[in-house]
A and B are shown apart, each in its own frame.
Chain A
Amino acid sequence: MEKLAEQKIIEDLLPQKFGKQGTIWVICLLAVCALGAFAYGRQLYYGLEVTAMRDYVSWGIYISNFVFFVAISLVGSLITAVLRLTDVNWSTPLTRIAEIIAVSAICFAGLIIIVDMGRPDRFYNLFLHGRLQSPIIWDVIVITTYLFISILLLYFPLLPDLKIMIEHKERNGKWLQKLYVFLGSFWKNKPEQFHISEKAINILSISIIPVAFAIHTVTSWLFATTYRPGWDSTNFGAYFISGAFLVGSGAVLIAMYVFRTHYKLEKYITDSHFDKMGKVVVLLALIYLYFNVNEFLVPAFKMKKSEEEHLMGLFTGEFAAIFWFAISTAMIIPICILLFKKGRRPKAAFVAGILVVVGSWFKRYLIVTPTLLHPFLPMSNVPESYRHYIPTWEEWAIAGGSLAGALLIVTIFARIFPIIPIHETITEIESNEKA
C-alpha cells in the first residue's frame, strides 16, 4: 500500500511533456526572446544611440530590469533557506520553484548589465581593472557568488530525484536519460550520501542568507552611495531587501498557480499553501509599505529644494500616474485582496501575485529614472530629448526578451526536472504518517 502511494507521488511529480498550451507558451517566449536578440543586434551595430538613454538618464529600463531581477532572485533565500531553517515544513513543495526562479533571475540580472554596456566586448576589463572600492565590483562579486550558491542549493536536493528519474527511463527521451545519468548516476540513496547532502544543504541555507542580503544591499548601494535626490538615503538597503522579498513571493504565488493548474498538482500545492503564502505576501507588502512611507515622508516633510522637484514629479508630476499605479498594484491592492481568506484562494492569490510583480517592476523604474532626470544643477543648453526619457522599441524589446528568457529557463527546467521535490515529498508524507 505504502509502495503504491509512493508510486503515485512519483507518477504525479515526474516531469511532464509540454502539452499544446505548453508548446504555444514556449513558442511565444522564444519569439519574444528572438525579438529581443534582434533589438540587441541593432544596439550592438548602431551603439547605445538606438536607446533613449542620453547624458542625464544613463540608466534606463535596463537597470530597472536589473534591479527587478536581483530583487526577484531573493525569494530563493526566503523560501529555501529562511523557511527551511525555521522548520516551516509546508514550504517543501515550493522550494524548487523558488530556487529556479532565483537562478533564472540572477542569470538575467548578470546578462542585462552587459546589455546596458556600450562596449560589451570590454566587459573583461571589469575583472582586470576593477576597483575594489566601487560598489559595482561588489555587485559583480556578490552576484557571481549568489549564482553559485543558488545552483548548489538547486542541485543538492535534486540528487535523490535524479535517481528516481533514471529509474523511470521509459518516460525519458534518450537525451534526457543521458542528462540525468550525467548529473546524478552516482546517487545510490546511501545513508552516508544523505548525511553529506543534508549537511551541505544546511550549510548552503545558512550561507545563502547573508549573501542574499548582500546582493540586494549592494545593489541598493549603487544608488545610495551616489548623492542624488531620491537616492541619498541611509535606508536603502533595508528598503530594497523588503521590496525584493515581496516581489519574489509574488512571483512564487504566480508560479504556484501556473504549475498547480497546468501539471494538475492540486494535491501537492494545496489551497493551504496559497493561504500561507498569501499571508507571507501580506506581511512583506506591509513591511515594504512601511519602508516606502519612511522613504518618501521624511524628505517630503523637509522638502529640501533639490528633493522637492523629484518628489513632486513622483506625487503629482510627470511620474505620478506610474508612481500611484506602482504603489497601488505592488502593495495596497494585494494587501486588500490577500488580507481576506477568500482572497488567499488560488485564483485570487494568483491575481494578487501578478499585481505585485507588475507593480514592482514599475517601482524599480521609478527608483532609477526620475532621480536621473532631476540633477542638482539645472539642465541647460541640452536638446529636448535629454530632458525626458521614453524608452525606444529596442529597449522594450530587449527588456521584454530578458523577462521572457527568465521565464523560458523556468519553463524548460520544469520540463526536465520535477518542479516539486519528489523524494522530499515522499519522506515528508512518510514521516507525517509515522507521527
Chain B
Amino acid sequence: MKKHKIIQLLFLIVLGIPPSFLKAQDVVEKPTLSLTLKYFNDNNYTHHLLLEAKSKIDGKFQKIANVPAKIYITNDADKANLLGTGITNDKGQILVLIPNSAKAEWIKSPNQNFVAVSTTTKAFDEARGELAITKAKIQIDTADGRIINAKLMALVDTTWTPIAAVDMIVGVKRLGGIMNANETPTYATDSVGGVMAEFKRDTLPGDTKGNLVLVASVVDNETYGNLTAEMIVPWGTKSVYTSNFDHRTLFARRGHSPIWLEILAYAIIIGVWSVIIYLIFQLKKVKELGVG
C-alpha cells in the first residue's frame, strides 16, 4: 500500500501536480448539516414539529433530502422521549405530530424543549438541532360590525397570561394561505394580549352557506413558535356550485358531445356508408345480371 502511494506521488510530481492533491483525494471533508426544529400549535387542537435539514453547498444553504433523523421531547435524546423518526423529503423536511403518549412530559412545565438528532450518512455526519418554546395559544372571537378579536396568551406557571407586543396576522383562510382581513398586514398585541381587526372583505366567496374561516396566527416567533386559531363565520357570499358534468362539451363524457359535432360526424358517417351500402347493392345487381 505504502509502495503504491510512493509510486503515485512520483507520478504526480513528474506530471507537475502538487502532492497536496494526493492528500485532498484521501481526506474528503463532509459538509456540515444544520437541523432546525419548528413548533406548530394548530388551532389549539394538535401540535406538531417540523424539522428542516440544510447544508451550505456551493456557497449557499440548500435543502437536504434523504437524511434520517429522530425527534425527541426534552433535550435528552433518550428512547423514552422519542416522538418520531423519519427521512427528510425533497424539501428537506420531516413532520412529526406530538402524540398523546407524550402528554405526561408535555404537562410538566410551561416551557418545553425538543431535540432532533440525525443519523450519520455517507454525505453527512450526525447533527443535532434543539428548540425551546413557551407554551402559548391564541383565542379568536368576533364582535358586532364584523370585528375580529384575537388574544395571545402564554402559560406562566399554571396560568394563561396575556402577552403584549407580539406580531400577529389576522385574516381569512384562502387557497392554503391567509388573506388579510383589511389593508393592515400584521398587528402587534396590546397590553392585554389583544388584537382587533375590522373585516372588510365584504364580497369574499364562502362555501355554500357563505361560511369563511377566520384565522389569527403568530408566525415563527422565537419564544412561542407558530400558533394559529381559527373560527368559522357566515360573512362570505354563498357559493352556488353549478355542475358542468352534463353539459355538451368536447371534453364531456360519452353521449354528451356537442350537437354540432354529432350532426357533422353522423352526417359524414351516414353519407360515406350510404355510398358503401349502395355499392354493395350494385354488386348484388351485377351478380343478378350474371345469374339471370
Contact = CB atoms under 8 A, between A and B. Distances in A.
Interface string A183-208: 00111101011001101100110010
A186 B282 contact: no
Nearest to B272: A145
Contact residues of A: prevailing secondary structure: helix
Q: What is the predominant secondary structure among interface residues of chain B facing chain A? A: helix
B276 A200 contact: no
A336 to B, nearest CB: 40
A190 B291 CA distance: 11
Interface size class of B (residues with CB under 8 A): 20 to 34
A382 interface: no
Nearest to A148: B276
A203 B286 contact: no
A132 B263 CA distance: 11
Residue of A186, A193, A196, A381 contacting most chain B CB atoms (<10 Å): A186
A193 B257 contact: no
B60 interface: no
Interface string B5-46: 000000000000000000000000000000000000000000
Which residue, B250, B254, B272, B286, has most C-beta atoms of chain A within 10 A? B286
B114 to A, nearest CB: 30
B279 interface: yes
A196 B251 contact: no
B192 interface: no
A159 B286 contact: yes
A129 interface: yes
A188 B279 contact: no
Interface string B59-91: 000000000000000000000000000000010
Given A193-B289, A196-B285, A131 B279 contact: no
A26 interface: no
A159 B287 CA distance: 10
A21 interface: no
Interface in A7-36: none
Contact of B287 (A131, A148, A186): A186
B272 A211 contact: yes
Nearest to A185: B290
B252 A196 contact: no
A57 interface: no
A204 B290 contact: no
Contacts of A199: 282
B290 A132 contact: no
A141 interface: yes
A192 B292 CA distance: 12
A118 interface: no
Interface in A128-170: 129-133, 138, 141, 145, 148-149, 152, 155-156, 159
Contact of A190 (B273, B276, B289): B289
B290 A193 contact: yes
Nearest to B291: A186
A186 B286 CA distance: 8
Instruction: Pick the most buried of B252, B262, B288, B289: most chain A CB atoms within 10 A of its CB.
Output: B289
Interface in B260-280: 261-262, 265, 269, 272-273, 275-276, 278-280
Given A145-B272, A145-B276, A129 B254 contact: yes
B283 interface: yes
B251 A133 contact: yes
A373 B252 CA distance: 28
B253 interface: yes
A149 B286 contact: no
Nearest to A197: B286
Interface in A399-425: none
Contacts of A132: 254, 257, 261-262, 265
Contact of B290 (A131, A149, A190): A190
A152 B276 CA distance: 8
B269 to A, nearest CB: 6
B285 A133 contact: no
Most buried by A among B252, B272, B279: B279
Contacts of A204: 279
Contacts of A193: 286, 289-290
A155 B276 CA distance: 13
A207 B272 contact: yes
A49 to B, nearest CB: 28
A130 B283 contact: no
Nearest to B276: A148
8 contacts: A131-B253, A145-B273, A145-B276, A156-B283, A186-B289, A196-B286, A203-B279, A207-B272
Q: Which 3 A-B pairs have the closest CB atoms?
A: A186-B290, A186-B287, A132-B257
Interface of A: 129-133, 138, 141, 145, 148-149, 152, 155-156, 159, 185-188, 190, 192-193, 196-197, 199-200, 203-204, 207, 211, 381
